[in-house]
């Protein structure tokens, strides 16, 4: 925005532009009208002078029948009294004025600028009389200019009226047309303040109607996304709670008994030492060793859960093995089979992270929802060069749910789509659940549909 320039609203600019065009047309129209009027005045005066000259010529010709020429000449000049455009003057031999006809008084007062702009150069015709005198005819534009001035006034009044009506119409139309935009601005402010229920009425011209409809769709979409985020947040909090409760249970169940055992054995050793049965102490010490060994195993498993192997730290194969080992430890009744023939160099870090997350969610889902006996994880390169991940279980299966049931499937779809890959989820009629993902690799930048 330029500093110092007044910022005009769209409405003011529209009205200003239209008024400017109207004013320019008015100016051009007036200039043309003046030019035309000037031509008309000149033509009218020429014609008048011509007719008057003919009258004088005829009068002088008739002098032959007149006994008193001087009287006849005065009558001829007086005949022009009240003429609108010409005056006749009778001169004697010496050039003195003997008589002059009077001009019809003009009905309008013509401003000086109008007269100097339109009045043609003065035209005169002189007729010599037999007695040496003369009759001089002169064209006077005053009456003609008064007529034109009056006509111009009428035209300007009409144009002015048109001007005012047009400006009022423009004002009304722009006000109506821009009203939806004001509504839209107010709704946007509500959205900015976090009120996604803000909607606008779809009306007005088609362009603005389309804008309003698109805005409403956007607001609905934002509201849906906001609700989804809120659910996700809640679920994250619940997950955290579950995870902590799980951990507390594990510590209690897995470590507590062994700590108790260590305590008992330590007390036993004390008693054996007091009573002098030292040969039995070795067995107690072994029992303490065993208990500590068990506790170390459990603590390692808990640490493994708290800090799972990540692909970027250990390599994808090892990270997947870590996931499988985690579940195998918790569900020894399920047969886990993991197999990878894919060279990891073909995958970038994002692809590895994505595959890791897909395996993590698929294994969790299989154990949680499928109750399977066997889960297979296979990672390979398909003929097109794309990386293909398949996680299949032989559990009870389920119809693939619509979106919005959980976040796992939606998250998997989003991650795969972000890489330009494809995800398929299938559940057979006899049960079982299979997740297959194809991801682009360095060897196959685009995944075939
Ligand atoms: N291996 C599976 N066997 C049977 N049903 C499954 C399997 N995987 C997913 N489902 C079904 O698909 C639904 C959606 O799975 P999704 O992972 O999106 O959500 P969730 O596991 O219920 O919750 P979340 O993953 O958000 O914690 C599950 O509720 C379940 O009904
Ligand atoms: Mg899930």
User: Which tens digits make up the pLDDT trace of 39-95?
Assistant: 888 898 899 899 999 999 998 888 878 788 888 889 999 999 999 899 999 999 998
Coil, strand, or helix at residue 98? strand
Report the helix count and the strand count for the chain, using DSSP H and E. Answer: 11, 9
For residue 93, give Cα distances in angstroms to 64, 111, 128, 294: 19, 38, 10, 155
Res 256: pLDDT: 87
269 pLDDT more than 90 = yes
Ligand number with the minimum distance to the CA of 235: 1
Task: Output the CA 360–ligand 2 centroid distance in Å.
Answer: 9
Coil, strand, or helix at residue 313? helix
Whether the CB of 440 sits within 6 Å of ligand 1: no
Res 437: pLDDT: 97
Ligand number with the minimum distance to the CA of 407: 1
Q: Name the band, by pLDDT with cuts 50, 70 and 90, for residue 246.
A: confident
Q: What is the average pLDDT score of the chain?
A: 87
Spell out the CATH class of 311-449: alpha beta
281 pLDDT more than 60 = yes
Higher-pLDDT residue of 163, 41:
41
Ligand 1: residue whose CA is nearest its atom 23: 406
Q: Name the band, by pLDDT with cuts 50, 70 and 90, for residue 160.
A: confident
302 pLDDT more than 70 = yes
Res 308: pLDDT: 64
422 pLDDT more than 90 = yes
Res 78: pLDDT: 92
* Domain segments of the chain as ranges: 10-167, 311-449
Domain at 10-167: CATH architecture: 2-Layer Sandwich (3.30)
1 pLDDT more than 50 = no
Please work out, in degrees rounded to the nearest 5, the angle formed at the alpha carbon of residue 348 by the alpha carbons of 308 and 392. Answer: 60
User: Which tens digits make up the pLDDT trace of 2-42?
Assistant: 445 567 777 788 778 877 887 888 888 888 888 888 888 88
């Amino acid at each position: 925005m330029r500093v110092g320039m007044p910022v005009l609203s769209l409405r003011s600019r529209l009205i200003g532009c239209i008024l400017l065009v109207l004013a320019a047309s008015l100016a051009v129209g007036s200039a043309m009208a003046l030019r035309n009027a000037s031509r008309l005045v000149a033509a009218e005066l020429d014609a008048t002078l011509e007719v008057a000259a003919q009258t004088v010529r005829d009068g002088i010709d008739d002098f032959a029948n007149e006994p008193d020429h001087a009287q006849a000449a005065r009558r001829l000049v007086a005949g022009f009294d009240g003429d609108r455009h010409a005056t006749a003057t009778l001169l004697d031999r010496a050039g003195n004025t003997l008589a002059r006809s009077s001009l019809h008084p003009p009905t309008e007062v013509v401003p000086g600028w109008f007269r100097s702009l339109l009045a043609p150069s003065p035209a005169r015709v002189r007729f010599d009389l037999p007695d040496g005198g003369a009759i001089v005819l002169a064209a006077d534009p005053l009456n003609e200019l008064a007529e034109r001035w009056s006509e111009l006034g009428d035209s300007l009044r009409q144009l002015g009226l048109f001007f005012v009506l047009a400006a009022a119409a423009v004002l009304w139309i722009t006000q109506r047309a821009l009203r939806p935009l004001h509504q839209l601005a107010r709704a946007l402010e509500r959205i900015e303040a976090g009120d996604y229920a803000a909607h606008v009425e779809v009306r007005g011209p088609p362009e603005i109607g389309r804008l309003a409809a698109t805005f409403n769709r956007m607001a609905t979409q934002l509201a849906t996304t906001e609700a989804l985020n809120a659910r996700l947040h809640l679920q994250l909090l619940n997950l955290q709670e579950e995870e902590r409760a799980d951990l507390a249970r594990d510590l209690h169940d897995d470590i507590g008994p062994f700590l108790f055992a260590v305590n008992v054995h330590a007390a036993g050793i004390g008693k054996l030492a007091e009573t002098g049965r030292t040969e039995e102490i070795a067995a107690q010490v072994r029992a303490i060793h065993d208990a500590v060994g068990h506790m170390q195993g459990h603590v390692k498993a808990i640490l493994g859960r708290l800090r799972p192997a990540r692909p970027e730290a250990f390599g994808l194969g090892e990270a997947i093995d870590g996931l499988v080992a985690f579940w195998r430890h918790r569900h020894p009744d399920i047969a886990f089979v993991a197999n990878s023939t894919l060279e990891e160099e073909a995958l970038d870090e994002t692809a590895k992270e994505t595959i890791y997350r897909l395996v993590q969610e698929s294994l969790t889902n299989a154990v949680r929802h499928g109750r399977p006996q066997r889960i297979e994880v296979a990672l390979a390169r398909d003929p097109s060069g794309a990386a293909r991940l398949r996680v299949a279980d032989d559990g009870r299966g389920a119809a693939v749910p619509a979106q919005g049931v959980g976040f796992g499937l939606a998250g998997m779809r989003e991650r795969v789509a972000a890489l330009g890959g494809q995800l398929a989820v299938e559940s057979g009629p006899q049960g079982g659940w299979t997740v297959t993902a194809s991801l682009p690799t360095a060897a196959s930048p685009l995944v075939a549909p």
